[in-house]
Amino acid sequence: MSVSNKTRLNQDRKIALQNLFRDWSGKDIENFERIEGSGSNRHYFRITGEVDSAIGVIGENPEENTAFLRFTDHFRRHKLHVPEIYASDLTKGIYLLRDLGDVSLFSLLPGLVNNPEKAGQLETIYQKVLDELIRFQVIAGKDIDYSVCFPRERFDKQSIQWDLNYFKYYYLKLDYIPFHEQALENDFQVLIDFLSLADTGFFMYRDFQARNIMMVNNEPWFIDYQGGRRGPLHYDVASLLFQAKADLSSDFRDRMLECYISKLNEYFGVDRNTFIPLYYGFVLVRILQVLGAYGYRGFYERKPHFIESIGHALKNVEWLLDNVEFAFETPQLLQCLNEMVRKNSGKKAKRTTGKLTVEINSFSYLQNGIPEDETGYGGGFVFDCRALPNPGRTEEFRNLNGMDQPVIDFLNRYTEVKYFNDNVFGIISRTVDNYLERNFDHLSVSFGCTGGQHRSVYCAEQLFERMKAKYNIRLKLNHTMMESW
């Protein structure tokens, strides 16, 4: 499908989603706001009317949409905390859900983890989450219709192989970690054979992590289970307790694991000596799958958020290497893991500066394109100024640039230019505030226009001055076309 056809289709679906909300609520829409998702092919919107609100979803995959809606109906029959489906039209790939708000368990973790005064609250929340997890796995898993699972009905040997290949091709190869291909494949097979000893007769949520747990009136509610399938118990609890950026302590993870096993024993007998080795095997596979995803989004798609997340996942790898004696022998994989940890430690030492640098660039789309990121983080913001009024079309400005007063005066006359710059400043300010809290050390912001001479230079200068007035940070300003004027 061409880009223009896809854009038209998505616009039609937005209109259909709005009509679905009007039909359901009986009221007109007061606000229709895009909610940033996790990088999936689903698009989320908060839709607000005079009385009601809902989360609108556009799902591009029909099988995934069917799985989510069917699972939701099933879970609600079992009184699990999942959002009510208000309305749906699967012919258009759209549906409306109960709005569970914006507070996820993940958003609460920075204020709870490693805070002695909040230790009891954190433990209570995770105990509730584990209670509900077992109800998903054991109770709802007994009579769920696994035929609607997508892309696979069971987390089996092939599923594990997919995850390991994802890790190999999108992490190891893209981060240039050396390995012997056949030796690594042999190790993968050893690991797969070991994990295949686990009973797969339960519902496996697949992405059971704090971002997919919403907190409503101090109770956990659950979303994004459309990838669920028949599988082992161990995988979901491993996903929760070893979530890369949750930063849970090893003592807390151990206590919660024991809590989980104890709760399982209320339903059937669990052989702890068998469960624990398999659990750590699934912890390893989950971490490798996550690293594959981070590698794809970070190294391949060059998204800085995912590159930054790699370090958190590698902390978990390092902990496993230091604390777990696996019940299988995978020497080539072990060598890769050690090299990954070693290489990441070197990168951290090299990159950490202790102060945020914001690099602001202007460039020409025609002559040199978007500036390459040379820090190793990838990504950054790129703003296209070509929709703004163009001074370059006027003869008197042709030999001037965006730092010359006549060009500045020309652009200052237009309300759309002010609106553009105000919105850019708002976006960048919020990002800088977040980066300062998290001790990040680099952000790039680039402005492009046709010739890289007037609008992009002007906007870069405007942002530079406003950032300088607001923040005590390092600022770098680069105009890539200046030397050729």
Domain extents in the chain: 3-97, 105-351, 357-484
β-pair type (442-449, 381-384)? parallel
Q: What is the predicted pLDDT for the residue at 382?
A: 96
* Collapsed DSSP state (helix, strand, coil) of residue 443: strand
Task: Tell me the C-alpha distance between 238 and 439, whole Å.
Answer: 28
> What tokens were used for 242?
């070893």
On whether the CB atoms of residues 401 and 485 are closer than 8 A, the answer is yes
Q: What is the pTM of this model?
A: 0.73
Q: What is the predicted pLDDT for the residue at 463?
A: 97
What's the order of all strands across the beta sheet hosting 94-97?
A: 29-35, 42-49, 53-59, 94-97, 85-89
Q: What is the CATH number of domain 105-351?
A: 3.90.1200.10
Residue with tokens 């989950």: 286
Reference 371, options 275, 446, 464, 292; nearest CA is: 446
Task: Tell me the C-alpha distance between 167 and 173, whole Å.
Answer: 9
Rg (CA), the chain: 25
Beta strands in 36-177, from DSSP E residues, in sequence order = 42-49, 53-59, 85-89, 94-97
Which helix H or strand E contains 345, and what residues bound it?
Answer: helix 331-351
Residue 259, classified by CB atoms within 10 Å of its CB into exposed (0-12), middle (13-18) or buried (19+), is middle
Q: What is the predicted pLDDT for the residue at 420?
A: 96
Residue 118, classified by CB atoms within 10 Å of its CB into exposed (0-12), middle (13-18) or buried (19+), is middle
Residue 447, classified by CB atoms within 10 Å of its CB into exposed (0-12), middle (13-18) or buried (19+), is buried
* Collapsed DSSP state (helix, strand, coil) of residue 40: coil
Reference 330, options 280, 274, 272, 273; nearest CA is: 280
CATH architecture of 3-97: 2-Layer Sandwich (3.30)
Residue with tokens 């979803």: 57
Under 8 Å CB-to-CB from 275, ≥6 apart: which residues?
Answer: 234, 261
pLDDT tens, per residue, the chain with 485 residues: 444 455 566 789 999 999 999 999 999 999 999 887 655 678 999 999 999 999 999 999 999 999 999 999 999 999 999 999 999 999 999 999 999 999 999 999 999 998 899 999 999 999 999 999 999 999 999 999 999 999 999 999 999 999 999 999 999 999 999 999 999 999 999 999 999 999 999 999 999 999 999 999 999 999 999 999 999 999 999 999 999 999 999 999 999 999 999 999 999 999 999 999 999 999 999 999 999 999 998 888 877 778 888 999 999 999 999 999 999 999 999 999 999 999 988 654 344 445 789 999 999 988 778 887 766 666 689 999 999 999 988 889 988 999 999 999 999 999 999 999 999 999 999 999 888 888 788 899 999 999 899 999 999 999 999 999 988 898 999 997 644 43
Task: Tell me the C-alpha distance between 384 and 39, whole Å.
Answer: 22
Common-topology check for domains 3-97 and 105-351 = no
Omega before 116 within 30 of 0, i.e. cis:
no
Task: Tell me the C-alpha distance between 447 and 452, whole Å.
Answer: 8
On whether the CB atoms of residues 356 and 442 are closer than 8 A, the answer is yes
